[in-house]
């Protein structure tokens, strides 16, 4: 079955960087892109960006431009999301999901809690 498994929870200090991984299985990795979405505590879903697993093309949310980088490693069917210059309001659960360009986000990873605190 199609499955996305994300890396574990992280605690970071303000100003640091975090890199979350998302390992895909059960489908041809390069046939779909990967979308990243985050959810601050008690809040709604915020679309962060999308990366093509075929050619690495990206599309980022304007408010995160310059701080976020999404990459893929096709040899391991893994997508990565790196967020730099972390602030307290970056504290959130970060989700990856298959699709987002010509297809919908389905399925989703289990989520990775990133806590930014001094």
Partner 1 sequence: EIVLTQSPATLSLSPGERATLSCRASQSVSSYLAWYQQKPGQAPRLLIYDASNRATGIPARFSGSGSGTDFTLTISSLEPEDFAVYYCQQRRNWPRTFGQGTKVEIK
Write out the binding residues for partner 1, residues 16-75 only, by CB under 8 A. 35, 37, 44-47, 49-50, 59, 61-62
- Smallest separation (angstroms) from partner 1 to the CB of 9: 14
Query: C-alpha distances in angstroms, 48 versus 11, 60, 63, 87?
Result: 20, 6, 9, 16
Q: Which of 31, 12, 6 is nearest to 112 (CA)?
A: 6
- Smallest separation (angstroms) from partner 1 to the CB of 78: 18
Closest CB to partner 1 among residues 18, 97: 97
- Per-residue binding string, partner 1, 84-103, x by CB under 8 A, is -----------x-x--xx--
- Smallest separation (angstroms) from partner 1 to the CB of 35: 7
* Contact (CB, 8 A) for 37 and 92: no
90 φ, ψ (degrees, to nearest 5): -90, -5
Contact set with partner 1 (CB under 8 A): 35, 37, 44-47, 49-50, 59, 61-62, 95, 97, 100-101, 104-111
């Amino acid at each position: 079955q199609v499955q996305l498994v994300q890396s574990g929870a992280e605690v970071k200090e303000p100003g640091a960087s975090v890199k979350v991984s998302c390992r895909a299985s059960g489908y041809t990795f390069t046939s779909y892109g990967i979308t990243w979405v985050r959810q601050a505590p008690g809040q709604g879903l915020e679309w962060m960006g999308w990366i093509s697993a075929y050619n690495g093309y990206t599309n980022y949310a304007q408010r995160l431009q310059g701080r976020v980088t999404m990459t893929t490693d096709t040899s391991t069917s893994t997508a990565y999301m790196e967020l730099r210059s972390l602030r307290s309001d970056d504290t959130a659960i970060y989700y990856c999901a298959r699709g987002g360009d010509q297809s919908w986000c389905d399925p989703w990873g289990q989520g990775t809690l990133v806590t930014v605190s001094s």
